Chain A
Amino acid sequence: MTEKIMEGSIAVAHAVARCSPDVVAAFPITPSTHIPQELSRIQPEYGFEFVPVEAEFSAISAVFGASAAGGRAFTATSSQGLLLMHEVLFAASGTRLPMVMVVANRAISAPLSIWNDWQDSISQRDAGWIQLYCKNSQETVDATIQAFKITEEARIPVMVCFDGFYLTHEISPIDVPEKKEIDAYAPKGKRDSLDVGDPKSFGCYATPAYYQDMKKEQDDALFASAGIIEKHAGKFAEKFGRPQFAFIEEYKNDKDAAIISMGSLAEEAELVADEGLAGVVRVKCFRPFPRDALKKALQGKKRVVILEKDVSFGLGGALATEVKSLLFEAGLAPEVTSIICGLGGKDVSVKNIKEALQEKGSAWM
């Protein structure tokens, strides 16, 4: 393990290049831009096909095509770019094609904002992708490498999310494993693809006699991917000597109260936990939603405070909604507070998080 001081985006780009992709297609959008820029710079060294397309819609479409042709394919985006990809996300998961996308989380227009929140990827939660939310750049690097293994085994696309600017532009010590180590961890396998020697049709349409069964199978596969996610996190930890959190991370979760959050916000909440005010339960894997792990982590809690940077307009926070549903299902009845915060880059300080612990019901801060 060799840590180097580097920017989060640059580290992710190098991790991707060392995963030996066949095709990388991307369109620039802040704050994800440094990832494709760096990939284009190091392309001659690694030799993958780099396609600087004319829109994000084309980026994900080219990734779809590359995957159908049997290639390992990658893209990165943020915000409006992810929304522009929306239609293709469903086509990709429905066609059961492996692919990896890193999302540098950013707010959605209007009003226009380039700053961080999770509204972009949270609003894609029903697109049938695996969604991983990382707390720092090291975890993003690790998750991206695992994502190629996960997607190829589960045949479900994987979205690795990390916070725009807070992580994409943060400079910190990061270990990006060497290519030969990644080759050994994530070798490319054979799979069915477009091949003139063995003609197959991908992307057929379905009549009502088949459609729902195919969707059920897709849903079953997304649930079942939990086992694959866990397996590859374990193998990664073993090979690279860094502990991995497949679904959730519990931090000092031995208090009556727990803060539930994701991404770098959860890491910040650890500072509050250090003061003994509450434990922290960080949701890393948002899809498939880690019901079993969360049920266990929330047993006996008297109070749960959910902090999140997204909103399902007219309802509340998306994470809080999922947690409430899970608590009901598990027969647990702690007092629940739902906090929507940090939208469009609004600062969330340790002081704010402490205040959140005093809130009742739901609040924006």
Chain B
Amino acid sequence: MTELFLKGHRACAGCGSVLALRYVLEALGKDVIVVNATGCMEIISSQYPESNWGVPYVHCLFENTASVATGVSRALKHLDKEGTVVVIGGDGASYDIGFGAVSGAMERNEDILYVCYDNEAYANTGLQRSGATPFGSATTTTPSEMGGKGEWKKNLTFIAAAHAVPYAAAASVAFLPDLQAKLKKAKQKKGFRLVNVHAPCTVGWKINPVKAVEVARKAVECGLWNLFEIDDGKFKLSRPVGEAPVAEYLKMQGRFKHLTPKQVETIEEHARSVKPELEKLEKANVNFQRFL
């Protein structure tokens, strides 16, 4: 492992995203070429004149990573060079500012394995709201004074599936075998593959670093982050949708401290309503690739 990502990176203590990154490289091995969006994982790992990356690595900008990866992938193909092109981008780069480029690469079915580490805020700039920030969460632009974020997070994995990509999966740093199995499966496939990894940010979520993995586990156990894959258009739950009360998960995090009982109830209702819908989807054996 150490030769793929070197020790000494500058991520915060207990960083869930760098844990995800570690797992990604471990699962994919050394024949990868990483294209990294500006963001936490970039600034903690690539301070000139050193680099923690033991695999070929390129960083360009915040919002064009899928397009840079497109160019890398096409050039490798034409030059007959080896390597799986792997994007590492946060939710800011993937859900929001770089979304147009991501959608374009998905639609063209570029040969890219896109890993999004979703820490549910623009962590690198000081924890502002993102399209992936969940309902109710306080961020520096949806502060507790205004009751936290008023909208639900978007579901990038389903958005990918709506592009009929060969593979789209939601995973979590707290479920390592599942995460790595998804990465390995994705690596075997050609075309655009998304693995969207839920990764806690200790600073943004206002959690005790000790609990970082535990919080991520609770998110899945209470059904607010669900593990599934859409493989060649077929939806499959990776584990039963969690049914634990959301209050337990919310209580562990300072970003939800301001929530009123009514807001907690709204989130609880939301989580409970997801389960039957996802189960229906799985049972109906819907083929996402036939939506086009």
Contacts and interface: CB of A to CB of B under 8 A. Distances in A.
Interface of A: 22-23, 25, 47-49, 51-55, 57-59, 61-71, 73, 87-88, 91, 95, 194-196, 198-207, 210, 214
A66 B75 contact: yes
Given A65-B72, A204-B59, A57 B67 contact: yes
A200 B55 CA distance: 7
24 contacts: A22-B75, A23-B74, A53-B104, A54-B100, A55-B104, A58-B70, A61-B60, A61-B101, A64-B64, A65-B73, A70-B81, A88-B64, A91-B61, A194-B56, A194-B83, A195-B83, A196-B32, A196-B55, A196-B83, A202-B57, A205-B47, A207-B47, A207-B48, A210-B48
B150 interface: no
A58 B75 contact: no
Nearest to B32: A196
A95 B71 CA distance: 15
B22 to A, nearest CB: 16
B203 to A, nearest CB: 20
Nearest to B101: A58
B30 A196 contact: yes
Given A61-B101, A65-B71, A71-B75, A205 B48 contact: yes
A55 B100 CA distance: 9
Contacts of B83: 194-196
Interface of B: 30-33, 35-36, 42-43, 46-51, 53-61, 63-64, 66-79, 81-83, 100-101, 103-104, 107-108
A58 B55 contact: no
A256 B178 CA distance: 80
Contact of B60 (A53, A69, A71, A203): A203
B43 A205 contact: yes
B78 A48 contact: yes
A87 B74 CA distance: 22
A165 to B, nearest CB: 29
A61 B72 CA distance: 10
Given A54-B104, A65-B70, A199-B55, A95 B60 contact: yes
Contacts, number: 173
Contacts of A22: 74-75, 78-79
Contacts of B77: 49
B61 A87 contact: yes
B60 A91 contact: yes
Contact of A51 (B50, B58, B71, B79): B71
A69 B101 contact: no
B75 A69 contact: yes
B67 A204 contact: no
B100 to A, nearest CB: 6
Nearest to A63: B71
A257 B78 CA distance: 53
B180 to A, nearest CB: 20
| Most A-side CB within 10 Å, residue of B32, B42, B74 | B74
Contacts of A73: 71, 75
A51 B74 contact: yes
A212 to B, nearest CB: 12
A194 B42 CA distance: 17
A64 B49 CA distance: 21
B290 to A, nearest CB: 23
| Most B-side CB within 10 Å, residue of A51, A62, A202, A205 | A62
A71 B79 contact: yes
B79 A206 contact: no
A194 B68 CA distance: 12
Contacts of A214: 48
Contact of A58 (B50, B64, B81): B64
Given A47-B78, A57-B63, 6 more contacts: A54-B103, A57-B100, A65-B68, A66-B75, A199-B56, A207-B48
